[in-house]
Chains A and B, each alone.
Chain A
């Protein structure tokens, strides 16, 4: 039943999905890299990003892409505040165990979810634009316009992020803190400020991704949970603290999910994400980055 054309079509669709997966996972990777904190509340901010984009659309008829960009600043501020008011107290406390931050952020996710429920109710919401149902035919392949836009915007955002991380003082300080927080402190980097910045940046990316997701999905206050699992798989596949690995992890997951449906029931699609997570944790805990360095050596 599957011709070469079909297989190429599946591969293209998977790569377009990978762009979205990468942008929603980067925030998690940055926060984990700097603080070794698993930000479970990321799903809450992702959902909030979608609802804020809906609000901009209703108030000012703003396009979801512009809404996603507009989310960056307030979500950065929100993340900064969450770090200063809550996370810092748990992470920096000597008596606190690692589970404390996990529970704190899980509770925060539930609070965000319930506040959203009180404001917007439990019904499915969606944004329909003039191009929501449009598609382009490129080289004989039909490509949904929304997926192309999300992919292009995600790629642009990730390129910008790579530039900031690689070529600015803040980016270098952030990477130094990821590699060795003690050494970073010794060379004069304000790791406390970097941590707040990382949390703000991670939250901003969640809000941004949430805005982009409105182009593809309808959403409720429960939105975000299923994507969170995928993000965990991606950052584990990518090597947890390896930002470039996130992109590779996203591509692996998207390709595996798409091609697996050709050979197994689509109802088992989640098994792919769970399965990859288990395999990555056991076989290559350092992710693709570790695998790559092994191959090279």
Chain B
């Protein structure tokens, strides 16, 4: 009798999942969006900012009841995996998102090197991929059809920095000709930057002279020997293309070595909250080219900055704003396509004109290679008291005069 009971219990236990599967609710239709980000490792801080931006955009849609695609409304699930800032791991995790998690669409990683590692996968599986973390033009020279980027190129960042320098040289009476020491990370990001600088120098040989042109290792631990060379070059302008961790290390050592230049720019670095906390007053008066800043007075930017501060109790940087825009562009592309079909969404993204974006100008559209059309940059300067002011383009109402040459002994 006891044996009979045991058999009955076992049969019931096996049958329960079967009963639930066949008679339960059908699986809710949803849109799965995947992203592989560096939540740990060298780019951990920036990767977490991207996670916040993506999550905010997805939350907006889910709170509104889901995304309208054709006749149906779908809730969105965001799946984020951590690649530990490792390129090989990044690529395989993107593939895992596609093959194991069956995501419908992909959002990009951060930085250029990790985006380059990931970009092989989307075309293979015909899954649209929109990224806001890689700005090197090399990403878009490989002929991939499913990759879209919302960041203006690093080449353009260098060009706008040099354009501003041309104007600043007269306006602030910098010592002419401007002798420039330029250092750049040895990646496609850095190569874009130096190309932009050298092209600008070629165009104005009367105004610019390069006295030092050196590359350095990404995620370096000690830049003292390099900075010794910068010091020896006796330049009046110091330009560096560096990611956040390298910027913090390099500028700390720059200040410790007692270096001074009339104009100092680390590309897009300087106004980052993380950098400012790590360097304190040492980050004051740096000039940066940015894709977005909370100093932008547009209504969208202010609403975003206020909301971010409420949710995360911190001031947002361009990382969060651009990742927010990136996710919104992807969602708009899906909505415009009216279907979840990869190739159809890809075509919709290729001809999208996304308005109400946070970036300067407020419009995102893509060029034939998938990278954002135009170069929506602003130049900003960090000032004491955790203040960031827009200093260029002049035509913007929120533009202020810069403090140049940089004050000494700060």
A positions within 8 Å CB-CB of B:
1-3, 6, 9-10, 13-14, 17, 117, 121-126, 128, 132-133, 135, 142, 144-147, 216-218, 220-222, 226-227, 257-258, 260-262, 265-270
Contacts and interface: CB of A to CB of B under 8 A. Distances in A.
B222 A17 contact: yes
Interface string B219-234: 0111111101101110
Interface of B: 39-42, 44-45, 47-48, 183, 185-186, 211, 214-217, 220-226, 228-229, 231-233, 244-245, 248-249, 252-253, 255-258, 274-275, 277-280, 282
B278 A218 contact: yes
Given A218-B252, A258-B224, A269-B225, A122 B232 contact: no
Given A6-B228, A217-B249, A124 B282 contact: no
Contact of B258 (A117, A128, A142, A268): A142
Given A6-B228, A117-B40, A266-B183, 11 more contacts: A10-B225, A124-B245, A126-B277, A135-B258, A146-B256, A218-B249, A220-B42, A220-B245, A222-B44, A258-B225, A261-B228
A216 B229 contact: no
Contact of B278 (A122, A126, A145, A226): A126
A132 B221 CA distance: 18
Given A266-B216, A267-B216, A226 B221 contact: yes
Nearest to B223: A266
A258 B278 CA distance: 26
Most buried by B among A9, A128, A145, A262: A128
Contacts of A3: 232
A227 B221 contact: yes
A261 B253 CA distance: 16
B228 A124 contact: no
Contacts of B249: 217-218
B256 A216 contact: yes
13 contacts: A2-B232, A122-B48, A123-B44, A124-B248, A125-B278, A133-B255, A144-B253, A217-B222, A218-B245, A220-B45, A226-B220, A227-B221, A265-B186
A126 B232 contact: no
Contacts of A1: 211, 232-233
Contact of A123 (B45, B221, B229): B45
A123 B279 contact: no
B89 to A, nearest CB: 14
A93 B39 CA distance: 39
B217 A266 contact: yes
A262 B214 CA distance: 10
Contacts of B45: 121-124, 220
Most buried by B among A132, A142, A260, A268: A132
The secondary-structure label for the interface of chain A is mixed
Nearest to B48: A122
A124 B256 contact: no
B27 to A, nearest CB: 34
A13 B256 contact: no
A90 to B, nearest CB: 27
A123 B274 contact: yes
Contacts of A6: 228, 231-232
Contacts of A266: 183, 214-217, 223, 225-226, 229
Contacts of A220: 42, 44-45, 245
B283 to A, nearest CB: 11
Contacts of B220: 226, 269
A126 B252 contact: yes
A144 B257 contact: yes
Contact of B256 (A123, A125, A133, A222): A133
A270 B221 CA distance: 10
Contacts of A145: 256
A122 B217 contact: no
What 6 A-B pairs have minimum CB-CB distances, sorted nearest first? A122-B44, A267-B186, A135-B258, A226-B221, A144-B256, A261-B225
Contacts of B215: 265-267
A35 to B, nearest CB: 27
B233 A222 contact: no
B228 A126 contact: no
Nearest to B248: A218
A128 B216 CA distance: 25
